[in-house]
Amino acid sequence: MILELIGFFIFIAFVCGMLYLTWRAVRARSNKAFVSRLGTELPRWISDGLLREEQKEPILALYREAKVDMKNRAPLIMVVLATVLLTLGVILFYAANWQTMPPYLKLVQVFALVILTYTTAYYLICIKDMPRIGRAFLVMGMVSFGAAIVLIAQIYHITAHGGTGLMIWVLGTMLMSWVTRERWGYYLAAGLALIWTSEVWFAYEQANYLFPLFALGLFWLFYTAEARVGLVIMVCGVIYWLYQVNSCWANDWHYFTYDHNHEQAILYACLFLHLPVGLIMVSLSRLCEQNKIIGWASQAMTGIGWLLVLVPWMALSWPLGNWASGYQYFWEIASLQFLYYQYAALWIFAAVLIVFLYQRKLDYRLPAIATCLGLAYALPLGVGSWLVVSTHLALLVYLGSMLVLSHVNETPRRVERWLALFFMFAVVVTKGFVFFAYGLSSRKFYLAYCIGFIVFGTVCFLINQLANLLAIERNKPYPVAYINNVSVAMAFIILYLVSFKIHEQGSIFEASPVVLLMLWLFLAIAFCLYAILYLRCRDKMLISLSAITFFISLGTLFISGPAVSWVTYSLIFNILLFTLEGSTIYYGVKTNAPRVVNAALFVFVLHVLTRYFDLFFDMLSGSALFIVTGLVLLGGGYILEKNRRLLLKKMEQGSQSR
């Protein structure tokens, strides 16, 4: 079982290696094509006065280095692949033929394999001065050492805990790698350590309390070897181990108490533990980002940490009854020591690290804000409505703070800038499609769910505008278009979906009090943001279009009910869509944005076509429908294309005159 598992992981490593080689080959080929094209372009640049003749060869030599580097790495790559193949072959050989071998032959082969591989490695490295091939046999010796442990246990039917053999294998690999300074041995030990803790978890449903000691040792080995990828692997391994430990503790608690009433509370608390763990990773990465060894790894730790912080806000922000009941039992989990003390220790550690950031005059603001948001969950309100309200508020404050602080910060962190945009993008898209799915499942409140996303998406759009305004005031670049585009696109999709015939809708005032509370809360937030932007923003047209969409959608939500016909909803949203499409075209022309104009024209044509088929399909026969449609499309396409070209030509002339 274990040999097949190890063989599978080695096979996966082999496949990854082949993919890496393919990528390197494609990259080298593309670099060759780029150098060839550059060689034909440089003479024209020289004739145009952009470059001097003596600069041509240094530029070409700079881009030819990648090809030379690939040639120098070819022997190393061949040795790595040979090592993987030989190791995989040895494991598969014993897995396939072990049952047919006599005991004495098994024992002789096991010791002979270990001695032969290590002896060959010593001979090639120390005597023949062939370190690359010798290191391959050294890694094979480490694999043979583990295979010997498993095989000897099978020969003599030694009964022990299944994870003991893997633990000895990891320890032996770590020691041999440390003595020989073999970096690939460190990675092998890290992979074996993850397999070991997985074996203890899945096969025995136990927590591996020794894993952190091995992880700490491997982290030190990777640090001394300046192996940044290994540092990230061990950080992810510790997070993986935390999942295992809490899962085992939760299972043990259920087993001994037979109490399933607090299952949601445990799940809620385990999700909430992502917050301090993520903040610890972010704070540690900021403390170590100036270190030349951990510098690159700290960027990966920052990304993983902020993702962990986002998980509880996003996962707990859905209006589900079982989450609310789980929150009501939150304070009762204080009796569950495995969660209570862990929770307290992690938050204390995170707070201490933030204090260190403050003392060292590093940027502590975003971790401090996230810490305050997380501690707000400790308020002993004990009601489910607070869970829904607080998660949405925390999500908005977290995303807004990350957008502002990551782009106006004096110390640029590229990973945080892209994460801020990606998180907002992901939240808007996810909320849009999930709210639409909720509306389909609850047909009575289909309109309410869709307009609920319009309200949420509008607030996200306004937060993005506010972040852009603050960046402009501080002369900082801010990519405002990314979130604007996704917010507008999702709003168009939702408005388009509710513009068709819908079933009888219930009144929003029939919803639960927490839904109404959320609605009034987001309405107040939108009012405040609109007021700030109108007072401080110069270009108010985009804000005005957003306000029109927001308040018309909100007004439609308030008048919805069983007495309102679907025709009323359809007229309101179709008129709103046509208004927005025309306004967007005008805005694109005014701001000299051809892409905006083309996108708005495309949406307008799509809207007209779908409305045409939806309205006249039952009124005309099939032949007449297609004939009339063809004529309308030809005429409409001619008019639109003519006007589009005129608009684009005017925009080009306007940009040239400037």
* Domain identity same for 370 and 427: no
* Domain identity same for 503 and 371: no
Is 211 a member of any domain? Answer: no
Confidence of residue 632 (pLDDT cuts 50, 70, 90): low
pLDDT at position 7 is 44
Render the burial of 132-168: b for 16+ CB within 10 Å, e for the rest.
ebbbbbbbbbbbbbbbbbbbebeeeeeeeeebebbbe
| pLDDT of 377 above 90 | no
Prediction pTM value: 0.73
* Domain identity same for 431 and 326: no
Helix axes 131-155, 2-47, angle to 10 degrees: 160
* Domain identity same for 465 and 335: no
| pLDDT of 561 above 80 | yes
| pLDDT of 202 above 90 | no
| pLDDT of 373 above 70 | yes
89-108 mean pLDDT: 65
Is 84 a member of any domain? Answer: yes
Confidence of residue 613 (pLDDT cuts 50, 70, 90): low
Strand, coil or helix: 289: coil
* Domain identity same for 607 and 483: yes
- Which candidate, 229, 218, 353, places its Cα nearest to that of 296? 229
Q: Which has more pLDDT, 252 or 271? A: 271
pLDDT at position 477 is 83
| pLDDT of 614 above 70 | no
Question: Tokens standing for 504?
Answer: 């009888």
* Domain identity same for 357 and 444: no
Q: Into how many domains does the chain fold? A: 3
- The residue out of 100, 122, 149 marking a domain boundary is 100
Confidence of residue 134 (pLDDT cuts 50, 70, 90): confident
- The residue out of 362, 384, 406 marking a domain boundary is 384
Is 534 a member of any domain? Answer: yes
- The residue out of 83, 100, 117 marking a domain boundary is 100
Is 539 a member of any domain? Answer: yes
**Least reliable range by pLDDT among 6-15, 364-373, 392-401:** 6-15
The answer to whether residues 192 and 166 touch, using CB atoms and an 8 Å cutoff, is yes
Report DSSP letters for 447-496, one per residue: HHHHHHHHHHHHHHHHHHHHHHHHHHHTT----HHHHHHHHHHHHHHHHH
pLDDT at position 630 is 56
Element (H, E) at 388: helix 384-408
Helix axes 446-473, 414-441, angle to 10 degrees: 160
* Domain identity same for 437 and 559: yes
Report d(CA 522, CA 257) in Å as an integer: 42
Report DSSP letters for 105-173, one per residue: HHHHHHHHHHHHHHHHHHIIIIIS--HHHHHHHHHHHHHHHHHHHHHHHHHTT----HHHHHHHHHHHH
Is 189 a member of any domain? Answer: no
**Least reliable range by pLDDT among 46-60, 124-138, 171-185, 624-638:** 624-638
- Where in the sequence is the domain holding 309, given as residue range(s)? 269-384
Render the burial of 100-116: b for 16+ CB within 10 Å, e for the rest.
eeeeeebbebbeebbee
* Domain identity same for 306 and 455: no
| 415 exposure class (CB count in 10 Å sphere: 0-12, 13-18, 19+) | middle
Q: Above pLDDT 90, what percent of the chain?
A: 8
* Domain identity same for 308 and 434: no
Question: Tokens standing for 31?
Answer: 């670099």
Is 529 a member of any domain? Answer: yes
Confidence of residue 103 (pLDDT cuts 50, 70, 90): low
* Domain identity same for 489 and 365: no
* Domain identity same for 450 and 317: no
Is 180 a member of any domain? Answer: no
* Domain identity same for 589 and 471: yes
Is 587 a member of any domain? Answer: yes
The overall average pLDDT reported for the chain is 75
> What are the tens digits of pLDDT across the range 206-248?
888 889 999 999 999 998 888 888 888 888 888 888 888 877 7
